[in-house]
């Protein structure tokens, strides 16, 4: 006789109904910010900001089968990541996240317990970043799970940083290291294919790859970097988060600022774990860093006169400088040769594009 004692309980969502589900998911929400005047429970949230502050808003949508694969993405990690990709956008504006709304579309294959796991990740991210959940929506889906989050932040007008304000001779700086998320995705996809091709007889071998797996499945928004820059009294001249790959993002800044750039290959920060894993997959680590995406590091330009303030900071690496527009976008290789940069990051609308979960907000 089968022992069912270890099988987790499954509660069908239809038992609660839409309003019962909303009550269940939001029952423990406690508002943290004075600007959250009215949160969940009415027709709309009410927010109030002090005079002199600007409201910064961003929205991101993650779709099953396009942006994530639940065969290797834990729901709690997915919930966490769905918040962080929005917080990262606000950090790229030099703004602080204050509130989010969460909307999900779910099919009947998801139980209450599964949805609870997703929201545990959402609430964990909100707790970490000091964010209030002030609203959202739930509905049914015939094609899997869809998550849409709108994040609301605030910043003083003089602190906001845009993409279109880079100046010639500015330094180009990146936080953290690059390429890890993309290589982590390659590992997950490889192990999935092995698992399926052996009829689930061979279990995934992920040992020793915690770093690149976390970079893909549980990224962190670099709000610590904006705090560091403020403490150092450095205001970027332009900034963007790296969701679609370094090359795509620096080209966004250059195009909108009407400038060119030089990026030096030997300056691009790549973690040894990422480097070794890329080689295992016969990938060029530099290409992974340039085009992989989903690292959610911050890429910014800054005045040359501020260099001494960041020199030696282990969180920041100068990788190049802004040039006049006529010089174009150039990669200076380790051998000293010069090659045009091309944006080969993920395109959500290209046919046959490799499934690659990432923030593609332009």
Please indicate, yes or no, whether residues 60 and 117 belong to a single structural domain of this protein: yes
Please indicate, yes or no, whether residues 316 and 217 belong to a single structural domain of this protein: yes
Instruction: Output the domain CATH number for residue 292.
Output: 3.90.650.10
- Of 131, 159, 187, the last residue of a domain is 159
Q: According to the model, what pLDDT value does residue 54 have?
A: 84
Q: According to the model, what pLDDT value does residue 31 have?
A: 72
* Rounded (10°) CA dihedral 109, 110, 113, 115: 180
Alpha helix positions (H), the chain: 17-26, 75-92, 112-129, 180-197, 210-217, 223-231, 246-257, 272-280, 285-291, 307-310
Q: Residue 98: what are its φ and ψ, rounded to 5°?
A: -125, -40
Whole-number Å distance between alpha carbons of 221 and 89? 8
Contact (Cβ atoms closer than 8 angstroms) between residue 338 and residue 273? no
Residue with the two structure tokens 């988060």: 241
Q: According to the model, what pLDDT value does residue 52 have?
A: 75
Confidence (pTM): 0.85
- Would you say the C-alpha torsion 263, 267, 271, 275 has a positive or negative sign? positive
Please indicate, yes or no, whether residues 145 and 207 belong to a single structural domain of this protein: no
Please indicate, yes or no, whether residues 314 and 250 belong to a single structural domain of this protein: yes
Q: Residue 140 falls within a domain, yes or no?
A: yes
How far, in Å, are 84, 169, 173, 193, 287 from residue 209 at the CA level?
Answer: 22, 39, 27, 18, 20
Q: Residue 346 falls within a domain, yes or no?
A: no
Tally of domains in the chain: 2
Please indicate, yes or no, whether residues 116 and 175 belong to a single structural domain of this protein: no
Q: Residue 225 falls within a domain, yes or no?
A: yes
- Of 136, 159, 182, the last residue of a domain is 159
Please indicate, yes or no, whether residues 46 and 150 belong to a single structural domain of this protein: yes
pLDDT by position in tens, the chain (length 362): 445 556 677 777 677 665 566 666 666 767 776 666 655 554 444 566 777 788 888 889 999 999 999 999 999 999 999 999 999 999 999 999 999 999 999 998 999 999 999 999 999 999 999 999 998 888 999 889 999 999 999 888 899 999 999 999 999 999 999 999 999 999 999 999 998 888 777 778 888 999 999 999 999 999 999 999 999 999 999 999 999 999 999 999 999 999 999 999 999 999 999 999 999 999 999 999 999 999 999 999 999 999 999 999 999 999 999 999 999 999 999 999 999 998 775 554 454 443 333 333 33
Please indicate, yes or no, whether residues 190 and 302 belong to a single structural domain of this protein: yes
Please indicate, yes or no, whether residues 146 and 205 belong to a single structural domain of this protein: no
Please indicate, yes or no, whether residues 51 and 180 belong to a single structural domain of this protein: no
* Model confidence pLDDT, tens digit, residues 197-248: 887 777 788 889 999 999 999 999 999 999 999 999 999 999 999 999 999 9
Contact (Cβ atoms closer than 8 angstroms) between residue 50 and residue 39? no
Q: Residue 166 falls within a domain, yes or no?
A: no
Tokens of 246: 């370094």
Tokens of 14: 């239809």
Q: Residue 284 falls within a domain, yes or no?
A: yes
Please indicate, yes or no, whether residues 235 and 281 belong to a single structural domain of this protein: yes
Residue with the two structure tokens 């070794």: 276
Instruction: Output the domain CATH number for residue 88.
Output: 3.30.1330.10
Q: Which residue range is the domain that position 272 belongs to?
A: 171-340
Q: Residue 360 falls within a domain, yes or no?
A: no
Strand partners, 97: 153
Q: Residue 352 falls within a domain, yes or no?
A: no
Please indicate, yes or no, whether residues 96 and 176 belong to a single structural domain of this protein: no
Whole-number Å distance between alpha carbons of 359 and 77? 15
Q: According to the model, what pLDDT value does residue 355 have?
A: 38
Q: Residue 138 falls within a domain, yes or no?
A: yes
Question: What strands, in cross-sheet order, belong to the sheet with 146-156?
Answer: 53-63, 146-156, 96-106, 132-140
* Model confidence pLDDT, tens digit, residues 284-317: 999 999 999 999 999 999 999 999 999 999 999 9
- Of 103, 127, 159, the last residue of a domain is 159
The vertex-134 CA angle with 52 and 219, nearest 5°, equals 90
Please indicate, yes or no, whether residues 29 and 113 belong to a single structural domain of this protein: yes
């Amino acid at each position: 006789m089968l022992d069912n004692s270890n099988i987790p309980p499954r509660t069908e969502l239809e038992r609660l109904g839409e309003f019962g589900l909303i009550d269940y998911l939001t029952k423990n929400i406690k508002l943290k910010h004075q600007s959250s005047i009215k949160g969940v429970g009415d027709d709309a949230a009410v927010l109030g900001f002090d005079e002199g502050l600007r409201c910064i808003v961003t929205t991101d949508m993650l779709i099953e089968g396009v942006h994530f694969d639940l065969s290797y993405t834990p729901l709690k990690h997915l919930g966490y990541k769905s918040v962080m990709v929005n917080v990262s956008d606000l950090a790229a504006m030099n703004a602080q996240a204050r509130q989010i709304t969460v909307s999900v579309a779910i099919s009947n294959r998801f139980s209450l317990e599964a949805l609870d796991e997703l929201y545990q990740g959402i609430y964990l991210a909100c707790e970490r970043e000091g964010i209030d959940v002030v609203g959202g929506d739930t509905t049914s889906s015939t094609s899997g799970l869809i998550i849409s989050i709108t994040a609301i932040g605030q910043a003083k007008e003089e602190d906001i940083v845009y993409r279109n304000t880079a100046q010639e001779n500015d330094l180009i700086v990146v936080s953290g290291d690059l390429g890890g998320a993309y290589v982590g995705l390659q590992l997950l996809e490889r192990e999935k294919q092995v698992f399926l091709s052996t009829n689930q007889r061979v279990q995934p071998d992920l040992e020793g790859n915690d770093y690149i797996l976390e970079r893909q499945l549980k990224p962190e928004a670099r709000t610590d970097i904006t705090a560091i820059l403020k403490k150092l009294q450095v205001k970027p001249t332009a900034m963007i988060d790296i969701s679609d790959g370094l090359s795509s993002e620096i080209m966004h800044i250059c195009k909108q600022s009407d400038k060119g750039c030089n990026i030096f290959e030997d300056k691009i920060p790549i973690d040894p774990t990422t480097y070794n894993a890329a080689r295992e997959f016969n990938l060029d680590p530099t290409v992974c860093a340039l085009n992989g995406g989903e690292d959610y590091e911050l890429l910014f330009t800054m005045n040359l006169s501020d260099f001494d303030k960041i020199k030696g900071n282990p969180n920041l690496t100068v990788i190049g400088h802004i040039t006049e527009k006529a010089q174009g976008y150039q990669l200076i290789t380790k051998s000293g040769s010069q090659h045009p940069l091309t944006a080969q990051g993920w395109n959500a609308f290209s046919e046959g594009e490799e499934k690659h979960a990432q923030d593609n907000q332009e």
